């Protein structure tokens, strides 16, 4: 599918769907819990549906209805999958399910789409081997899926450099099922809000976790502990809020975004503070769990540390193109090994539209305030890239064509339709 974007202003109200990160954790922990869990307001995106496939592979009965998913785990506990677990495009599902597979006593094979089959996994497999698992890639010359895992792991101490929070979260989830104390040491934790999210979900399901609440330098879990089933609701997704929010600020718009998650459980909520620092007119209303964004004012370049909010880099780079002066995005190392090298991809595609961008191993520098012109750009099958480039088209001269735009369904199904309900004027074919 090709999405066409041109200059449009936004007006009205909208609500974004539930959180992908929360939904995947809810699904996979429910598969490990003994009994029936109910998940309200789940995100029915492709990544989250990949998590339900993994839950089914582990023996859970999963029922998907509009607005409510139920997951009833197998009475015998996690089962050995009778087929390969296909994690689709979901890195979170792949890393979490790989670690969980290390608690089982027979072989499990896990893979994903072509992007997952390029994303690094060896450091996770090395940690699993240190705890006694058999864990290898199927290709000796590749640091990526498919992988073969056989446990069970034993409790012990492992060390991660902290560059990939999904490795740490996956091993945390698995550690509750191991006999004895598992200690995970982290040399320099980034993406810390995601680590906290994992701990919070484990605690919600009755697991006791001891950890460094300030720096996330270590986690300890004494096992085995049983995950308890819960009845829970998924909060709205701040990663998705970022797209209409930035779209409103870079156009002459007035937009209200409702049903926000103001619990502090998602690190990407800091996008409000970042955009305010850039000069954005954003007003948060805690009494109504909503915000109002008014565009038409100039933004200014600032320095932004993306180490805890890696998924925000694509849309922040678009805001930076609109802003006057230089914006410097730091803490970008882990962002290069997401669905794509998002630093390189956003630099390449925005440059086609006239942006001036430089990058090093450690930072991305956007020389903002330059006029953008519509161009034919590629999503690289990356949902956040597709949405970000579409937003860029809303303040660019002419028409921007975004290829393979259907990939937005990975995290934000109905993105184009929802944005069009407030005047975005996107066309697709």
> Is residue 311 flagged as an active site residue?
yes
Cis geometry, peptide bond prior to residue 407 (ω within 30 degrees of 0): no
- Specify the 3-state DSSP secondary structure of 173: helix
All residues at 6 or more sequence positions from 78 whose CB lies less than 8 Å from its CB, including other chains: 31, 32, 58, 59, 100, 103, 104
Block residue for tokens 């550690």: 175
As a whole number of angstroms, the distance between CA 187 and CA 333 comes to 15
Identify whether the C-beta of residue 20 lies closer than 8 Å to the C-beta of residue 239.
yes
As a whole number of angstroms, the distance between CA 189 and CA 174 comes to 19
- 311, 341, 361, 382: the catalytic one is 311
H helices then E strands: how many in the chain?
12, 24
Identify whether the C-beta of residue 238 lies closer than 8 Å to the C-beta of residue 19.
yes
As a whole number of angstroms, the distance between CA 95 and CA 116 comes to 10
As a whole number of angstroms, the distance between CA 285 and CA 375 comes to 37
* Per-residue tokens: 289: 């769990």
Q: How far apart are the first and last CA of the chain?
A: 6
- Specify the 3-state DSSP secondary structure of 242: helix
Q: Is 312 exposed, middle or buried (0-12, 13-18, 19+ CB in 10 A)?
A: buried
Q: Taking each helix axis from N to C terminus, what angle separates 313-322 and 238-249, rounded to the nearest 10 degrees?
A: 10
Catalytic positions, please? 311
């Amino acid at each position: 599918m090709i999405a066409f974007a041109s200059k449009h202003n936004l007006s009205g109200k909208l609500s974004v769907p539930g959180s992908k990160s929360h939904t995947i954790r809810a699904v996979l922990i429910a598969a490990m819990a003994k009994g029936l869990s109910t998940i309200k307001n789940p995100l029915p995106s492709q990544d989250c549906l990949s998590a339900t496939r993994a839950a089914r592979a582990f023996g859970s009965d999963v029922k998907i209805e509009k607005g409510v998913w139920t997951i009833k785990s197998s009475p015998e506990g996690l089962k050995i999958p009778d087929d390969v677990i296909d994690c689709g495009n979901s890195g979170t599902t792949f890393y979490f399910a790989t670690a969980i597979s290390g608690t089982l006593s027979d072989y499990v094979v896990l893979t994903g789409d072509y992007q997952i089959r390029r994303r690094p996994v060896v450091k996770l497999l090395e940690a699993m081997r240190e705890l006694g698992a058999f864990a290898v890639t199927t290709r000796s010359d590749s640091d990526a899926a498919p992988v073969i895992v056989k446990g069970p792991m034993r409790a012990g101490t492992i060390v991660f450099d902290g560059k990939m929070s999904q490795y740490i979260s996956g091993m945390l989830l698995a550690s509750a099922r191991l006999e004895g104390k598992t200690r995970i040491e982290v040399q320099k934790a980034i993406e810390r809000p995601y680590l906290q999210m994992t701990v919070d979900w484990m605690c919600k399901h009755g697991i006791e976790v001891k950890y460094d609440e300030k720096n996330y330098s270590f986690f300890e879990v004494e096992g085995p502990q049983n995950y308890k089933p819960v009845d829970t609701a998924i909060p709205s997704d701040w990663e998705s809020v970022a797209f209409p929010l930035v779209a409103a600020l870079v156009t002459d718009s007035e937009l209200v975004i409702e049903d926000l998650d103001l619990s502090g459980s998602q690190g990407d909520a800091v996008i409000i503070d970042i955009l305010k620092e850039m000069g954005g007119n954003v007003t948060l209303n805690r009494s109504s769990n909503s915000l109002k964004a008014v565009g038409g004012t100039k933004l200014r370049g600032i320095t932004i540390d993306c180490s805890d909010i890696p998924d925000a880099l694509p849309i922040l780079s678009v805001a930076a193109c609109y802003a006057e002066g230089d914006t410097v995005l730091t803490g970008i190392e882990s962002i290069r090994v997401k669905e794509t090298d998002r630093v390189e991809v956003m630099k390449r595609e925005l440059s086609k539209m006239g942006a001036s961008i430089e990058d090093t191993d450690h930072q991305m520098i956007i020389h903002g305030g330059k006029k953008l012109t519509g161009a034919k750009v590629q999503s690289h099958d990356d949902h956040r890239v597709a949405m970000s480039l579409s937003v860029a088209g809303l303040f660019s001269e002419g028409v921007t064509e975004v290829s393979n735009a259907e990939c937005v369904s990975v995290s934000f199904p109905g993105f184009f339709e929802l944005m069009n309900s407030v005047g975005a004027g996107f066309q697709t074919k």
